[in-house]
Structure 1
């Protein structure tokens, strides 16, 4: 059985004029740098998540939504530092790697204490214990309260004292159980209870005994998994300061020739997890000052193992470089680190296999020692990385340009179709009257990296953003001349077919900022608006793609929040579920049940009247809809949100037998025309009408929309036109003349099944 390379995203933060995304929307369709934990090595025994991925870290939510196909368990940033490091692939594990999974019953663990619990763990399959990371809250305390964990830790100590260089004493399972406990307790401390000195003492007893046993230094496949469990447990216990000597030793002893053959990469890679989160732990900085040899070990590791670059274990070198750069955040270490970082940068390039190592080190040098960028030779590295890697440029429309690392013509066509088609849907839902005042963001640049790892490393350097997220919208100042908004995203490589992660969610942020929310994101932070910003992006993304938001339906069944509470959502202080899933539910409920209130709030948002919008939400509405929202959640969880997937707001079919005639707020369906011909429409406009909006969507082929106020509209007789490369067209006419006005859909390519919607 082989290892699986599994990449993990941490949660991003908003920064001035930027929005960072947690894992979100695929296509089938900005920020202060925040450090992230290294990516971890997946075990061969489980097709799910690695034991190393079960660190006791808590997701605080991402600026962008978690839409369809969530990534594996997110690992949040714990320290200021570098882009996320990567998980190396390895070959096989020794003892037990191919063992068949045994039946697993949570009650076997929650019903036992003392020696009975220990014996149950020892008798259990590794994959069985893996399921305990996802244990329910109702069982969490019985499995992982501190007294249970202390019992298991001392059992692990006894197994460590008797360790024979393999898993004959089930030390791997005991340590994995402890990892699960730390993970579950972190997310459910209110249920499990606190962990204190008793567990710290017992855990150290287990780890000290293991590392003191000479068999723990065996360079064999049999020792790989137990050693990995112990080293990962250092990270789980957040005890890096105490175990710096062990971490340093493992780095110094790793030899790519011998250790790779014995699968020891899986055992050594967790060193980087502990180092990445060490800065967030009490006493860590002081410990490094007292024992700075870990920095020498990281440099030596990266230098000695450069032959791994370009192989499936090359990310070990990247991890070492990343953690070396992280220490630059401590000014007292800069004199020691400068020659190390400079030497490694000199051996790498902005392109090719070594570009990730250089990217991590360049990021560190430019952030922690920018005044000396010439010393490192990286002052112009952002431009070099961009020129070397973002080589694909394609215009989807006059307003949308894709800049990509590796998209081919077919993929570009798929992405463009998804983006171009979204405009009509967005405007139909938003019911806007055009761009908000002072918004000049008439074009958007969509930057697509080939993988999420490319995004993490390269986007951090090129755009100077935090990339521990699923993508980021960089709005800039929409009132500034020459401002170029863009969003940065990546291809979804774990999907079965081509997808771009977060594409539609991020594009909604662009449209929302241009047509619904005045100024940049920071301008709106006078009052909480994240319920709308993220909730609406989620709603449009899911609804436009006509996909059921199963995650939101799942949280709806819990009835966690009142609607009035969701109006108070602030991204930086809220969970990912609250920001995205509950944001989606709140926005969907308001759009479906109280559209007039949404319009009133949007009128304030569009004018930048944040206090006025807040007054509507918290005073005019207040708690008035809480009971109804709770009832709606019940219906949603029972199937209404799955069977009644929201799409473009449903309008009635236009009346009358003349298929050319449009009326206020109706739709003509199944419109068709052959190539070079027209589908003509007319509309009677009452005097004093402020706006007429015509949108087209769906069907096959490509129809372009034209408007003429006094006679039939043609390609050579029109005032306005919308000519996207598909059937998604929108024309908004403000203050139209009274009487007949005319619209035509010209068949650039023969079309059929098109819907034409008129609103006024």
Structure 2
């Protein structure tokens, strides 16, 4: 939709919503420049606390598009070892938490059991609870949050950790993990709801240090064994939650030094060492951290050694560890007092790697750090023009799907390119049939789109960040730029879903492409203009609607949401970026309901969106419609949950062209059952009225392979045409902007004999 079509959130919503439900990973609108502060429902800036935010629950669902936007691209957090979307993780493999629990351990979980207990009674109940129950406490607010996590409660639990850790046996038989996770939940709740929980002071600080000292001082905390892995990982994360990043720098160094891939990875301890990079990352936001490293810079040597000696992990499942180590080492370039120490270490890691091949992640991490903190000296590191070097090194596949779509990829083969192009080009006609537009909105020059496809979720997170300078903790991004600026090139970034291989799927391909089409044909101006009033319900709901209905896939998550009746339709018109379930699932439901039940209102709304009448559109939604459809929406939700939404909506088809000549097309009609033998043509002509802004010709269906040609001056042939659409099958689209008045000509050339093809013309 614009230079900054971005999902931007307050920190509160950004992390809290990770705990609430499993959502489909969808893509983002994003700026090509630094993001502005997130906007709250009333349009006022949303406050966010300073310093590092505690991390959400272990095993909590993290959307593939997490929506975790940092102030600038250099503040991206370390990557997880599993970069797949959260709902994929949840459905394809059990978490380490669920593996430890087993079905028999699933107990009833009552918040009151934690808020109504104190002292030893509270401690015993925590230790007896299962992990999933403790996980469920992270989102507590209000009186519940205070009852569970006020300082007296947390201090009691921290000392209980001290006592339990003294005899820690190297597994969870003494419930150390429950105590650690409870403390993490408390810090999380207090960070985001300080007024609810109350302040934390020196009493808790003394207690948490005693607990962490006892754990990391216990001999079995160093066990290289599967039983120790989850507790160790939780405890490292607790360092950051408690903002004790300075005190436990020796633990960070110890873990990085002790790590040996041959023994740690099989025991699951790679997952335990990875949180140390978050301790380092967020440490820069803790008072005294930089000074501590300046006083004892040995952690820099430890990071360098870790990355260097584990170079063989690059290109494999644990290469993220090397990437994170290189990234966190390079981040210290921001400290002038440390640059003399850090520069040669970063240079050495860059020299061990290359902007392509197995070591590209290490090179990208070094190059990013240099770009952010030492760009004037890039020649010293060999990383000048890093984005161009990486593009040349990894994005080697270029394919023109159609005159308006260029596909750039890391590793797609010819068959995969054909599949992707067919899906994209076929979507044009579908979207136009839904929104019934009259061509691009005024001042929109985004006539072409670049579709950039990375080879996996990890490739996207590392390489798209380094090349395009964006936060990639998401399921993809649409970078629109300024549609009114000459030479602007919109693009969207996405990736192959590696978890479905050997099947082929590009994650969010159709959702992101809908953003491009919607921005070009429905939403005037740029993203910031469109967000002067709440339009998120349409922007994201429509992208979800098209992605599912065009692909003929049921949106099971939205259907499940419908059964909960959580929102009124009039409330959904106020949706802003934040609650992911509301943005995507409920956006889908609101858009589908309006299209199916109140089509004239959608047409009136889009007429205002297309000219930038945001205030008029807002009046239509909140005053003209207001609450009048709330009851109908509620009834529709019941039907949707009971099966009405299990099938996809049918988009009205264009009528057959009425002219007797089978070659004659007309405005908004179709010719069915078109056929031609190999090497021959099916010719068509169309009389264009003066002042026509756009003509769109689309072919679809049938067998064989026909390529579409256009000629404004006479019959169109392969040797006489102005433009063409030549895909691998019969899904072709040509859009002619400002065509000449009078007769224009199209033809479908049979690369392979075709039959049963439908040709549609839209004016």
| TM-score for the superposition, normalised by structure 1 | 0.77
User: Does structure 1 retain, via aligned residues, the 8 Å contact 2:448–2:489?
Assistant: yes
Where does residue 401 of structure 1 map in the other structure?
A: 406
Where does residue 454 of structure 2 map in the other structure?
A: 449
TM-fit CA distance, 1:381: 2.0
Aligned equivalents of 1:75, 1:618: Cα separation in 2: 27
Task: Tell me whether 1:424 sits opposite 2:429 in the alignment.
Answer: yes
Where does residue 594 of structure 1 map in the other structure?
A: 598
Relative to structure 1, the CA distance from residue 287 to residue 665 in structure 2 (aligned partners, 3 Å threshold; closer, same or farther) is same
Comparing 520-529 and 14-23, the one that deviates more? 14-23
Please point out which of 258, 264, 272 is paired with 1:267.
Answer: 272
Aligned equivalents of 1:120, 1:753: Cα separation in 2: 69
TM-fit CA distance, 1:456: 1.6
User: Does structure 2 retain, via aligned residues, the 8 Å contact 1:684–1:741?
Assistant: yes
**Cα deviations by residue, 1:151-180 (Å, 9 ceiling, x for unpaired):** 655443322111244444343454356557
Where does residue 554 of structure 1 map in the other structure?
A: 560
TM-fit CA distance, 1:493: 0.6
Task: Tell me whether 1:161 sits opposite 2:166 in the alignment.
Answer: yes
Matched position secondary structure for 2:645: helix
User: Does structure 1 retain, via aligned residues, the 8 Å contact 2:353–2:359?
Assistant: yes
Aligned equivalents of 2:268, 2:693: Cα separation in 1: 71
Task: Tell me whether 1:498 sits opposite 2:490 in the alignment.
Answer: no
Task: Tell me whether 1:584 sits opposite 2:585 in the alignment.
Answer: no
Please point out which of 644, 666, 673 is paired with 1:640.
Answer: 644
Aligned equivalents of 2:166, 2:268: Cα separation in 1: 23
Please point out which of 128, 131, 155 is paired with 1:129.
Answer: 131
Where does residue 229 of structure 1 map in the other structure?
A: 234
TM-fit CA distance, 1:423: 1.2
Where does residue 146 of structure 1 map in the other structure?
A: 149
Relative to structure 1, the CA distance from residue 745 to residue 593 in structure 2 (aligned partners, 3 Å threshold; closer, same or farther) is farther
TM-fit CA distance, 1:359: 0.6
Please point out which of 597, 604, 607 is paired with 2:608.
Answer: 604
TM-fit CA distance, 1:537: 1.9
User: Does structure 2 retain, via aligned residues, the 8 Å contact 1:82–1:322?
Assistant: no
TM-fit CA distance, 1:404: 1.1
Relative to structure 1, the CA distance from residue 619 to residue 694 in structure 2 (aligned partners, 3 Å threshold; closer, same or farther) is farther
**Cα deviations by residue, 1:601-659 (Å, 9 ceiling, x for unpaired):** 3333333444444444444444443443344333333332223x124335678899999
Please point out which of 532, 554, 572 is paired with 2:538.
Answer: 532
Matched position secondary structure for 1:395: strand
User: What are the within-5 Å matches in structure 2 for residues 169-180 of structure 1?
Assistant: 169-176=174-181
Where does residue 298 of structure 1 map in the other structure?
A: 303
Task: Tell me whether 1:545 sits opposite 2:546 in the alignment.
Answer: no
Aligned equivalents of 2:222, 2:713: Cα separation in 1: 87
Relative to structure 1, the CA distance from residue 358 to residue 33 in structure 2 (aligned partners, 3 Å threshold; closer, same or farther) is farther
**Cα deviations by residue, 1:455-497 (Å, 9 ceiling, x for unpaired):** 1222222223332222222223333443332222111111242
Relative to structure 1, the CA distance from residue 682 to residue 631 in structure 2 (aligned partners, 3 Å threshold; closer, same or farther) is farther
User: What are the within-5 Å matches in structure 2 for residues 646-661 of structure 1?
Assistant: 646-649=649-652
Aligned equivalents of 2:79, 2:669: Cα separation in 1: 52
Where does residue 104 of structure 2 map in the other structure?
A: 103
Task: Tell me whether 1:567 sits opposite 2:573 in the alignment.
Answer: yes
User: Does structure 2 retain, via aligned residues, the 8 Å contact 1:563–1:625?
Assistant: yes
Aligned equivalents of 2:196, 2:743: Cα separation in 1: 70
TM-fit CA distance, 1:422: 0.9
Aligned equivalents of 2:720, 2:107: Cα separation in 1: 73
Relative to structure 1, the CA distance from residue 325 to residue 688 in structure 2 (aligned partners, 3 Å threshold; closer, same or farther) is closer
Where does residue 516 of structure 1 map in the other structure?
A: 522
Aligned equivalents of 1:295, 1:458: Cα separation in 2: 24
Aligned equivalents of 1:335, 1:235: Cα separation in 2: 28
Relative to structure 1, the CA distance from residue 647 to residue 750 in structure 2 (aligned partners, 3 Å threshold; closer, same or farther) is farther
Relative to structure 1, the CA distance from residue 328 to residue 18 in structure 2 (aligned partners, 3 Å threshold; closer, same or farther) is farther
Relative to structure 1, the CA distance from residue 322 to residue 136 in structure 2 (aligned partners, 3 Å threshold; closer, same or farther) is closer
Aligned equivalents of 1:729, 1:541: Cα separation in 2: 19
**Cα deviations by residue, 1:486-515 (Å, 9 ceiling, x for unpaired):** 222111111242111121112122222222
TM-fit CA distance, 1:354: 2.4
- Give the gaps of 5 or more residues in structure 1: 1-13, 35-50, 60-69, 90-94
TM-fit CA distance, 1:407: 0.9
Task: Tell me whether 1:485 sits opposite 2:487 in the alignment.
Answer: no
Where does residue 727 of structure 1 map in the other structure?
A: 730
TM-fit CA distance, 1:287: 5.9
**Cα deviations by residue, 1:104-157 (Å, 9 ceiling, x for unpaired):** 333167685666776676677xxx624764689899969993377766554433
Aligned equivalents of 1:531, 1:226: Cα separation in 2: 41
Where does residue 42 of structure 1 map in the other structure?
A: none
Aligned equivalents of 1:310, 1:692: Cα separation in 2: 48
Matched position secondary structure for 2:452: strand
TM-fit CA distance, 1:744: 7.1
Where does residue 341 of structure 1 map in the other structure?
A: 346
Root mean square deviation, CA, Å: 4.9
Matched position secondary structure for 1:351: coil
Where does residue 43 of structure 1 map in the other structure?
A: none
| TM-score for the superposition, normalised by structure 2 | 0.76
Aligned equivalents of 2:331, 2:546: Cα separation in 1: 38
Matched position secondary structure for 2:610: helix
User: Does structure 1 retain, via aligned residues, the 8 Å contact 2:67–2:474?
Assistant: no
Relative to structure 1, the CA distance from residue 399 to residue 665 in structure 2 (aligned partners, 3 Å threshold; closer, same or farther) is closer
Relative to structure 1, the CA distance from residue 672 to residue 177 in structure 2 (aligned partners, 3 Å threshold; closer, same or farther) is farther
Relative to structure 1, the CA distance from residue 585 to residue 376 in structure 2 (aligned partners, 3 Å threshold; closer, same or farther) is same
Matched position secondary structure for 1:145: helix
**Cα deviations by residue, 1:647-702 (Å, 9 ceiling, x for unpaired):** 43356788999999989867676666655677788999999999886644334333
Relative to structure 1, the CA distance from residue 509 to residue 738 in structure 2 (aligned partners, 3 Å threshold; closer, same or farther) is closer
Aligned equivalents of 2:232, 2:630: Cα separation in 1: 53
Aligned equivalents of 2:60, 2:337: Cα separation in 1: 28
Matched position secondary structure for 2:538: helix
Aligned equivalents of 1:324, 1:474: Cα separation in 2: 30
User: Does structure 1 retain, via aligned residues, the 8 Å contact 2:24–2:557?
Assistant: no
Aligned equivalents of 1:458, 1:164: Cα separation in 2: 42
Aligned equivalents of 1:358, 1:429: Cα separation in 2: 45
Relative to structure 1, the CA distance from residue 268 to residue 653 in structure 2 (aligned partners, 3 Å threshold; closer, same or farther) is same
TM-fit CA distance, 1:262: 6.5
Please point out which of 470, 474, 481 is paired with 1:469.
Answer: 474
Comparing 693-702 and 706-715, the one that deviates more? 706-715
Where does residue 378 of structure 1 map in the other structure?
A: 383
Aligned equivalents of 2:108, 2:2: Cα separation in 1: 45
Where does residue 701 of structure 1 map in the other structure?
A: 704
**Cα deviations by residue, 1:697-753 (Å, 9 ceiling, x for unpaired):** 334333456789999999899999765543334567899999999987665544455
User: Does structure 1 retain, via aligned residues, the 8 Å contact 2:26–2:474?
Assistant: no
